[in-house]
Chains A and B, each alone.
Chain A
Amino acid sequence: MTFKIIGRFPERFINLSIKNGIGIFDAKPETQGLFASMIISDYKIIRPIAKRSGVRLKIVKRRGLPFILHRFRHRWGIGLGILLFLILSLVLQNFVWSIELNGVKTISETQLIDSLSESGFFVGKFKGNLDLHKIERETQLEFSEIGWMSINLMGTHAEIEIKEKALVPESEYSDSINNIKALRDGIILSQNISRGTAETSVGSAVSEGQLLVSGMYENALGEVHFVDADAEVIASTIYEFTASCDEARISFMPQEKAKRSELNLLWFKVPLSFAPQSSPFSSYSETLTLFLYDTPVPVSLCNEYLCSYLQVETKINETTAKSILDTELALYKLFNLKNAISITDETEIIKTPTGYKLNAKLVCTEDIAVKENLIVNLE
């Protein structure tokens, strides 16, 4: 507390106080007297000294914890709140409240988090009975891509350091002996043989499974050698694709959208808003985690967006049917003819009693060479 010393000899008061073991600090002379500060317990015992010094004391400013506590002495709720806060802080520091993954490149983080959760390591887990080595071992056994892994606990934050294995590149040469066979029927347009003996020539028609390049060759001396045959055999192939589309078509039209929010606080999930769930529906969710100075805290808001669909039956015309069937053909090419180049498409759409039908004939060029292991008993 800060007080003012009024009298003729404030220096005498200071000397007497110091001699009696009373600490005085921030003593500042002013025109009307001397200002000084001391702790509240000392102030209670300086009255006799002031009397002996012939000075009067006047309190100017009261500050510090004792005065704050005195001001709030009837508001027991504040004290209870502080006590609860301290208890909560002491209890909550024994749990894992945030997990950070470092060094993950090819492994799915979601799968990794799920795996850790199954091993008993998740947000909200009690730190006391954690066997980190066991969790690390189990995770490494589940994910063969992990070369090294370490779980570091820093307070309530867990940092998982992962080093993925460096994959050994496939060698061009192998110890195995292979033939090259035709993947499907076709007419050979060109062949580029790196190793092995050609069994067919350009322009010849081959059927699926036919030997194209042999892994066995005979040198000029008549010695037989076995190699891992390697070749690129480009052939013209034909694909037939059929798709149909009903005239009466059932489609799902998106209807109203709704949002459902949930507050995740520690272990608890508190719904903030409700949305009716009608079938069929689609949904996606996003989680917004609260960060405090770049550190995630166990408070997050989860928003789920729901969209309901209405089943409607529509009758389609030929133009729409063509568009739908063309899309199906494009999808077929995209997923089934990834390595083929389509040269010509012969398509026709015919009307059937129930709808429309697409017949397509696709002439493609592609590499039809496929390796087949050749088992040789050299004994």
Chain B
Amino acid sequence: MPKENKKEGFKFSPMDFLSKKCHIELDGNTSAVLEGSKGVLEYSTECIRVLVESYVVSFNGSSLTLKCISPTALTIEGSILSISFSD
């Protein structure tokens, strides 16, 4: 039986950054930092699709660019209209 976390108020851990989990940080609708990326599936000015864990994160908008790409993280800049998740 899994051990229950008794600290109910504890929602955020620095270990999240080191784990392989997907972590998205938005700066308004102009910039987004995505951690836990496994690869870019589609890249155009209107849509950027990124594979994370076992699903796909889609950033839709206009003038979208990949400013910085690293093996596990990427920075998207532009006018983000929506973020969707799909299998």
Are A and B genuine complex partners? yes
Interface residues of A (CB under 8 A from B): 10-11, 14-15, 18-19, 21, 23-29, 34
**CB-CB nearest in chain B for A10:** B43
Contacts of A15 in B (CB 8 A): 39-40
Q: Which residues of A contact B71 (CB under 8 A)?
A: 18-19, 21
Given contact pairs A18-B69, A18-B70, A19-B71, A29 touches B39 in the complex (Cβ within 8 A):
no
Q: How long is the Cα–Cα vector from A26 to B67 in the complex, in angstroms?
A: 5
Interface size on B, residues (CB 8 A): 14
Chain B residues with CB under 8 A of A27: 43, 65-66, 69
Min distance, Cβ A294 to any Cβ of chain B, angstroms: 40
A-B contact count (CB 8 A): 33
List B34-60 residues whose CB lies under 8 Å from chain A: 39-45
B65 interface neighbour in A11, A23, A28, Cβ under 8 Å: A28
By secondary structure, the A interface counts as mixed
Convert B48-87 into 0s and 1s, putting 1 for each residue whose CB lies closer than 8 angstroms to a CB of A.
0000000000000000011111110000000000000000
Asked whether A25 lies within 8 Å of B40 as measured between CB atoms, the reply is no
* CB closest chain-A residue, reference B72: A18
Minimum CB–CB distance for B65 against chain A, Å: 6
Question: Which B residues are in CB contact (< 8 Å) with A23?
Answer: 69
A-B contact pairs, 15 of them (CB 8 A): A11-B41, A11-B43, A14-B40, A15-B40, A23-B69, A24-B69, A25-B67, A25-B68, A25-B69, A26-B67, A27-B66, A27-B69, A29-B44, A29-B65, A34-B43
Closest residue of B by beta carbon distance from A13: B40
